[in-house]
Structure 1
Amino acid sequence: MSPSHPVSPTPSPTPPTTSEVAPLTAGVGHYENFPVASWLCPPRLRPAVMAIYHFARTADDLADEGDASAEQRLAELAAFRQALDACLAAPSGAPTNGRWPHIFGPLGRAMREHALPGALLHDLISAFEQDVRHTASGHRYASTAELLDYCRLSANPVGRLLLHLYGISDPASLQHSDQICSALQLINFWQDLSVDLPRGRHYLPADALQRHALGIEDFLPGAAAAAQGSPCAQQALVSELCAQARGLMQMGAPLVHRVPGRAGWELRLVVQGGLRILDAIAEREYRSWQTRPKLGRADLPRLIWRALWM
């Protein structure tokens, strides 16, 4: 989770980064500056895409913004879940008299028009609840498998919701969507080590740390590290995790040929944006626990060129 900022439903002049593409295709880890319902999205689907986005972003704010305690955040998320249940039960999709009519009014209309699967929306709330509990308890993921199980709740539902809007439901496409979404969530984690770790969010899997004889403390500010240009265990671990994420992304990439029209081209840019973030981490010698790599306008031509050749 991360702080959210105002988002415009118009195309962004900057290329898609992992943080920017995540809300619509990779989950709910980040929501900053994403061109929601951009010109690449079919106009008839833009209201539904916007409704899903604002639902996820509001849940993210409840779980992450301000100075509330973990207990208060969980209580807010429980109320948000109750509002979702009321929205699902409303026969006409009209907004309820609850606290978030601006969220559940549009979402309710999208549910009725497109028969959105409510279970996937519940999964997103479960992911935020898990994040709140794990951050409060200092939980550390035991393995990449456990981390991927978290992605099943935090990332994969959004991709499946979008495929549902496009009328795509075959098992191969759903699997590829999950692979892309989980890969982007993992890329998000390895891109944001310098942000998450000081805030008590631990996504580095314990089994990988053990293989490299490392602990979380080795990635915190002030930890000893090799001189610039010299290999170190931290770099080797980040390199390994990035390689796993790249492999997962490449496994899911064939989905771009199944999503029709402009949406398929948007997905190509999503995939290439995630892969380019991995390139940026590599170019910084896998030291993303020290500085957060990000993309700029100069990356856009490369993303478009790579998308053309997928």
Structure 2
Amino acid sequence: MSTRASPVVAAPPTHYENFPVASWLCPPRLRPPIAAIYAFARTADDIADEGDASAAQRLDDLRAYRSDLAAVAHGTPPSPRWPEVFGPLAHAMHDFALPEQLLADLLSAFMQDIEKTRDRAGYADRTELLDYCCRSADPVGRLLLHLYGVNDERSLRQSDAICSALQLINFWQDLSVDLPRGRYYLPRHDCEAHGLSGSSFETFRPLGSAPAPAPALALVASLARWARSLMEEGAPLVHALPGRAGWELRFVIQGGLRILDKIEALGCDTFASRPTVGKADAPLLAWRALRMRRQSPG
């Protein structure tokens, strides 16, 4: 599914996209809690999205998973179902006082995604979609800021903007994957403003077989600009994070912006193909990361 939590530290390609792992730039003492958070979210993503279980079974399993989270948060033994997740997470929550609610918010987003897909439902407008991002993406950034001891309100807001932007970029990048699977993240209000309805994307053509109509391309272009503005709003956070974390965040931001560049280079037709960032983009990302300077006031 497109529930992809978004990072404040970079990750190599994985099934669970846009999520931090303990890379070489991460301080050694933070690698265990970051790996524990990753395992928690990755396993929840698999429960929500892998295999052939029914929506009802997936929701039941995530409720059980949520109960185990509550157990370890309160220092009591979890069930034996996911020892590889809740053993390390219990240590991380104890040693680093990880906020239970941020982890629970991720599960809330997974459950919402299951329900929306089951009901073939979408999002009314950008406000509703951002509310989803607040639970599907923003908690990851806040958890990492917590580990780095950064908790001022400005940094939290900037982290939320980056993480929401990354989640939105993932949506607009994945239209060719999500729409055929009944996952609708294009806000209805934006669709209607471009003369489109939700059913348009099921009827105007077989996905990938012909160029998308101009209104659909204009819709994606508008949504991509929205994601870019959010990313730019959050970008100054790179100057607030200590040492290597700030450098990792530079690459995360530039990776997201590069995807937007590629969406635009496709004429915004991600109904037909999915743009990605690869090794060939690394020199440009490094150059752009180096050029992220602190802006002068005014």
Sequence identity, in percent?
60
Separation in 2, partners of 1:2, 1:240 = 20
RMSD over aligned Cα atoms: 2.4
Deviates more, 1:247-256 or 1:33-42: 33-42
The AA in structure 2 aligned to 1:112 is H
**TM, length-normalised to structure 1:** 0.87
The gaps in structure 1 that reach 5 residues or longer are 4-18
Separation in 1, partners of 2:7, 2:244 = 18
Match of 1:152 among 105, 116, 134: 134
Measured after TM superposition, the shift of residue 295 of structure 1 is: 1.5
User: Residues 25 and 158 of structure 1 are in contact (CA less than 8 Å); yes or no, is this contact kept in structure 2?
Assistant: no
Separation in 2, partners of 1:30, 1:151 = 19
Does the C-alpha gap of structure 1 residues 127 and 178 become closer, same or farther in structure 2, counting only changes over 3 Å? Answer: same
Measured after TM superposition, the shift of residue 215 of structure 1 is: 2.1
- Counting only pairs closer than 5 Å after superposition, residues 291-306 of structure 1 correspond to structure 2 as 291-306=273-288
Match of 2:114 among 127, 132, 157: 132
The AA in structure 2 aligned to 1:71 is A
Measured after TM superposition, the shift of residue 66 of structure 1 is: 0.8
Separation in 2, partners of 1:97, 1:23 = 29
Does the C-alpha gap of structure 1 residues 216 and 128 become closer, same or farther in structure 2, counting only changes over 3 Å? Answer: same
| 2:67 aligned with 1:82 | yes
Partner residue in 1 for 2:296: none
- Counting only pairs closer than 5 Å after superposition, residues 209-228 of structure 1 correspond to structure 2 as 209-220=191-202, 223=205
Separation in 1, partners of 2:79, 2:128 = 38
Task: Give the secondary structure class of the aligned counterpart of 2:272.
Answer: coil
Task: Give the secondary structure class of the aligned counterpart of 1:216.
Answer: coil
Does the C-alpha gap of structure 1 residues 224 and 32 become closer, same or farther in structure 2, counting only changes over 3 Å? Answer: closer
Partner residue in 1 for 2:243: 261
Partner residue in 2 for 1:7: none
| 2:18 aligned with 1:43 | no
Does the C-alpha gap of structure 1 residues 152 and 34 become closer, same or farther in structure 2, counting only changes over 3 Å? Answer: closer
User: Residues 2 and 30 of structure 1 are in contact (CA less than 8 Å); yes or no, is this contact kept in structure 2?
Assistant: no
**TM, length-normalised to structure 2:** 0.91
Does the C-alpha gap of structure 1 residues 38 and 77 become closer, same or farther in structure 2, counting only changes over 3 Å? Answer: same
Does the C-alpha gap of structure 1 residues 23 and 263 become closer, same or farther in structure 2, counting only changes over 3 Å? Answer: closer
Partner residue in 2 for 1:56: 41
The gaps in structure 2 that reach 5 residues or longer are 293-298
User: Which of structure 1's runs of 4+ aligned residues deviate more than 6 A?
Assistant: 224-227
Task: Give the secondary structure class of the aligned counterpart of 2:6.
Answer: helix
| 2:100 aligned with 1:118 | yes
Partner residue in 1 for 2:148: 166
State how many pairs are aligned.
Answer: 288
Deviates more, 1:230-239 or 1:142-151: 230-239
User: Residues 217 and 223 of structure 1 are in contact (CA less than 8 Å); yes or no, is this contact kept in structure 2?
Assistant: no
Separation in 2, partners of 1:25, 1:185 = 15
User: Residues 162 and 231 of structure 2 are in contact (CA less than 8 Å); yes or no, is this contact kept in structure 1?
Assistant: yes
Partner residue in 2 for 1:22: 6
Partner residue in 2 for 1:199: 181
User: Residues 2 and 64 of structure 1 are in contact (CA less than 8 Å); yes or no, is this contact kept in structure 2?
Assistant: no
Does the C-alpha gap of structure 1 residues 36 and 291 become closer, same or farther in structure 2, counting only changes over 3 Å? Answer: same
Separation in 2, partners of 1:2, 1:205 = 15
Measured after TM superposition, the shift of residue 88 of structure 1 is: 0.7
Separation in 2, partners of 1:242, 1:30 = 23
The AA in structure 1 aligned to 2:87 is G
Match of 2:232 among 250, 258, 274: 250
Partner residue in 2 for 1:72: 57
Offset from partner CA, 1:246-300 (integer Å, 9 cap, x none): 0000000000000111111000000000000000000000000111111221100
